[in-house]
Structure 1
Amino acid sequence: MAISDVQEYMHLTDEEIEQLGRELDAIRKDIEESRGEKDAAYINRLIKIQRGLAVAGRLTLLLGTHSKRTRIPAAVAGSTLLALHKILENMEIGHNVMHGQWDWMNDPEIHSSNWEWDTAQPAEQWKHSHNYVHHQFTNVLGYDNDIGYGILRMAREQKWHPMYLGQPVYNALLASLFQWGVALHDLDIERIRKGEKDPKEMKRQLKQIVRKGRNQALKDYVVYPVLAGPKWRTTMAANAAANLTRNLWAYVIIFCGHFPDGALHFTEEEIEDETRAEWYLRQILGAANFKGGPLLHIMSGNLGFQIEHHLFPDLPSNRYAEISVKVRALCEKYDIPYTTGPLHKQYGQALRTIIKLSVPNSWTSSDQPEPPTPSRTRKRKSDDERPSRIKELGVWSRSKSTERKAS
């Protein structure tokens, strides 16, 4: 169900919403003022571990595959170490560094303006499509392109088309090729198809994607296999397995945070004159957490605390567990739903939605009340139609951005 008035949906008064905003601001202030050596040590230690895993994986493949007796165990161990390295770099390091979570350290190596991650999408394009568009307009139909990534129908309000009958197949392909799907995300294929994309900007973005994708492919499927010498096939296969594992893992984590039952969608009317406190409330209602131990949370980029991440995307991820206790208490205080559950349950609900919405609404029953507005095709908004509101979401360096114009 898409919500057009969050305040009315939650039965909260203006003062209650503003008070909620003040209490969430107080949580932010407390974390900002308490950031220090322990937090810096955490991210530096994690980067060392991640790089150590990469070296260990390469050495295992290089040294362990020359003997017939150790070839298969070494290949499995090497690809596993490389997969762990890639998962850590993408989820807990790259994703969070580019959110600006560690900018306060003033370390040029671990700074959102400099980090280029080990995946096919250029950092600049990711920071626009993710930091600016997705986090600002979370789950707003017509604004947030992450609702289905342009190929999946993830809300009953989205108009059905026969092409969605293939949705389970598209979903499997998206999961397997996730880094390449994300690489094309900021192009906004729908606007290109409708002739609404600036050709010069599209050409510039495509050049970036081709260059980044080429470098990733050369690194994993040419340079490292050549260095492996006679065992180049084993190294290439290990790299492919590591990339596939990373792709599947990132896909599952992201879908568990945005598409289980309880993660609501919103109409354009909801964000008209939206206050900071109302933005906070929408983030809580539009995201979902999953339960797990410390290792699971680290490997998932601490996105098991997706609600907290959407409330405070630029605060250090290692503090989300601490923040979640306070956020959950506020949700109980104001009688706000706090969606959470085991990882397998959250993904199971997302997968069920993918399958159900591949067919017309009339063929299936809704798990929630029917939408208050009829299904329709909502035009994708351009940047000029997406106003900027929340300063903590970070900047992006696109040539036409206001930040660059001002410089």
Structure 2
Amino acid sequence: MAIADVQEYCHLTEADVEAIGRELDAIRERVEASRGAADAAYIRRVIKTQRWLAAGARIGMIVSSPLEPRYRRPVLAASAISLGLAKILENMEIGHNVMHGQWDWMNDPEIHSSTWEWDTAQPAEQWKHSHNYIHHQFTNVLGFDNDIGYGILRMAREQRWTPVNLGQPVYNALLAMLFQWGVALHDLDLEAIRKLEKDPKVMRQQLLQIAKKGRNQFFKDYLLYPALSGKEWKSTLQANVAANFMRNVWAYMIIFCGHFPDGALHFTEDELEDETRAEWYLRQILGTANFEGSKLLHIMSGNLGYQIEHHLFPDLLSNRYGEIAPEIRALCDKYEIPYTTGPLHRQYGQVLRVIHKLTLPNRFTQDDKPPTGTDVTVRHGRQNHEQRQQRRTELGAWSRTKAALRG
């Protein structure tokens, strides 16, 4: 059963909830006040490393062309791996976090959420709407958060089962391999399209944006760079395919591990009724999951191994999540709030189990999620407008057009 009231699920008083909110606000304020030169040096160092990896990979693919096969193959393999690592760094630790506004405080026009366009098929403008605005505001709320299954997978028992779900293992494998293209279509809202609720004018604008961005990505990776390798273009093409495959599968796994292991809960839309900022904090903790690993693993995952911390503070510096994680966990222990974490392999194993179990109707399977109880009540009219969670309004140009059309 999805949660309708996070306060009652956690057995907290209103005073407890507000106290938790104040403590989390204090953590945010402290981190914001301590941002400085060391943080700026960190992101610039990561960007420099990513660009050297990408440049070395591209050069390696070109210079390997005249080499004998016994030398060309290892150079190409190393170049493909280097390019894959560069794409992972750019998407996860750089692009994702820059577009969250984590580095806007630097006032560097080249490392700013308003100007960054990342190396993937989805236009940054659409990603900021579907991810920053929709997903982070309505995390794991059924019917609101399109990240629950990306429109093609059944990831919650409350979602209606149809015979189409029998193909989930296949859809999941395809989504992992082609993840950048799945993400590119994400802001279209496939469910709204299926229900004929999508504004045709808005959909056309979005599709044109996606087509332009996708065309540029395809040209760069599959035409331009292979052509620079001359007669060995096929080998360079294969290396580029391998690099994109490597990035796609990694990004898919990291994102799914943050939202669908056991302990990452779902919510009904009733939870949004008069939700305060403190209750929004609680929903982020209950709806996400961390994974454990080395510092390098966290950097390569965009520090999304600290998914709980990221959802609490999506626009705080990613390199600080590991610093505040012990405080967040201690706060959860203090108030007996679940703090879901575990090794990466275990979290992903649980994700796969969910995907495969939910190919079948509920009557054939058991629920692996922690019980939410059936006596959860919904409270209405408890808070006035000023006390409600302030939702971000960072809409892209197409969204403003949509609002204008409705107006």
Shorter chain as normaliser: what TM range?
over 0.9
Q: Distance in 2 between matches of 1:61 and 1:116?
A: 25
Percentage of pairs with the same residue: 69
Counterparts of residues 34-183 of structure 1 (less than 5 Å):
34-68=34-68, 69-183=70-184
Describe how 1:5-404 pairs up with structure 2 within 5 A: 5-68=5-68, 69-368=70-369, 389-390=389-390, 395-401=394-400
In structure 2, relative to structure 1, the CA distance for the partners of 1:50 and 1:18 (3 Å cut) is: same
d(CA) in 1 for partners of 2:393 and 2:345?
32
What per-residue deviation string (whole Å, max 9, x for no partner) do you get for residues 143-179 of structure 1? 0000000000000111111100000100000000000
Give the secondary structure class of the aligned counterpart of 2:397. Answer: coil
* Residue 370 of structure 1: how far off its partner (Å): 6.9
Distance 1:335 1:105, change over 3 A: same
Note closer, same or farther for the CA distance 1:87–1:193 as it changes in structure 2 (3 Å cut).
same
Residue of structure 2 equivalent to 1:3: 3
**TM-score with structure 1 setting the length:** 0.93
Number of residue pairs matched by the alignment: 390
| Cα distance per residue 1:357-402 (max 9 Å; x no partner) | 00000111112467778xxxxxxxxxxxxxx9445x5723234439
CA apart distance, 1:67: 1.6
| Cα distance in 2 for residues equivalent to 1:24 and 1:369 | 25
CA distance in 2, matches of 1:107, 1:175: 34
- The corresponding residue for 1:383 is none
TM-superposed CA distance for 1:254, in Å, is 0.3
Dislocated runs of 4+, deviation >6 Å = 369-373, 402-405
1:84 partner letter:
L
Q: Distance in 2 between matches of 1:110 and 1:174?
A: 29
Whether contact under 8 Å (2:225, 2:236) holds in the other structure is yes
Q: Any idea what the Cα deviations from partners look like across 1:73-92, whole Å, max 9, x if unmatched? A: 01100100000000000000
Contact 1:290/1:305 (CA < 8 Å) preserved in 2? Answer: yes
The alpha-carbon distance between structure 1 residues 336 and 130, as it changes in their structure 2 partners (threshold 3 A), is same
Q: Is the 8 A contact 2:265 2:369 kept in 1?
A: no
Alignment partners' CA distance in 2, 1:13 and 1:175? 42
Checking the alignment, whether the CA contact within 8 Å between 2:206 and 2:398 is kept in structure 1 is no
User: In 1, are the aligned partners of 2:65 and 2:229 still within 8 Å (CA)?
Assistant: no
Does the aligned pair in 2 maintain the 1:65–1:75 contact within 8 Å? no
Conserved? CA contact 2:262–2:370, under 8 Å: no
1:159 corresponds to which letter in structure 2? R
Q: For the residues of structure 1 that align with 2:334 and 2:296, how far apart are their CA atoms?
A: 30
In 2, the alpha carbon distance for the partners of 1:390 and 1:245 equals 38
Q: Which ranges of structure 2 fall in alignment gaps of 5 or more residues? A: 375-387
Q: Is the 8 A contact 1:287 1:306 kept in 2?
A: yes
Deviation per CA, 1:22-56, whole angstroms, max 9, x where unpaired?
Answer: 00000000000000000000000110000000111
2:280–2:389 Cα contact (<8 Å) kept: no
Give distance in 2, aligned partners of 1:5 and 1:170: 33
Structure 1 residue ranges without an equivalent (≥5): 374-387
Equivalent residue number for residue 385 of structure 1: none
The aligned amino acid for 2:75 is A
| CA deviation profile, 1:263-316 (whole Å, cap 9, x unmatched) | 000001111000000000000000000000000000000000000000000001
Verify the 8 A CA contact 1:397 1:403 in the aligned structure 2: no
Cα separation, 2, equivalents of 1:156 and 1:401: 34
Q: Is the 1:100–1:111 contact (alpha carbons within 8 Å) kept by the matching residues of 2?
A: yes
> Are the aligned partners of 1:165 and 1:358 in contact in 2 as well (CA < 8 Å)?
yes
In structure 2, relative to structure 1, the CA distance for the partners of 1:40 and 1:275 (3 Å cut) is same
CA-based RMSD of the aligned residues comes to 1.7
Following TM superposition, by how much is the alpha carbon of 1:404 offset from its aligned partner in structure 2, in angstroms?
A: 9.3
Report if aligned partners of 1:305, 1:321 keep a CA contact under 8 Å in 2.
Answer: yes
In the alignment, the residues of structure 1 paired with residue 295 and residue 227 of structure 2 have an alpha-carbon distance, to the nearest angstrom, of 38
1:102-158 Cα distance to aligned partner (Å, 9 max, x none): 000000000000000000000010000000000000000000000000000000111
The residue type paired with residue 397 of structure 2 is R
Q: Is the 8 A contact 2:302 2:318 kept in 1?
A: yes
Q: Is the 8 A contact 1:156 1:371 kept in 2?
A: no
1:124 partner amino acid:
E
1:367/1:213 CA distance change after superposition, 3 Å:
same
1:189 Cα deviation from its structure 2 partner: 1.3
CA–CA distance in structure 2, aligned partners of residues 281 and 179 of structure 1: 30
> Please, what TM-score do these two structures have when normalized by structure 2?
0.93
- For residues 210-229 of structure 1, the C-alpha deviation after alignment (integer angstroms, 9 at most, x for no partner) is 00000000000111111111
AA at the equivalent of 1:231: E
**Aligned partners of 1:278 and 1:401: how far apart in 2?**
29
For 1:359 and 1:90, the matched residues in 2 are separated by 34
Aligned letter for 1:147?
A: I
Q: Distance in 1 between matches of 2:360 and 2:398?
A: 41
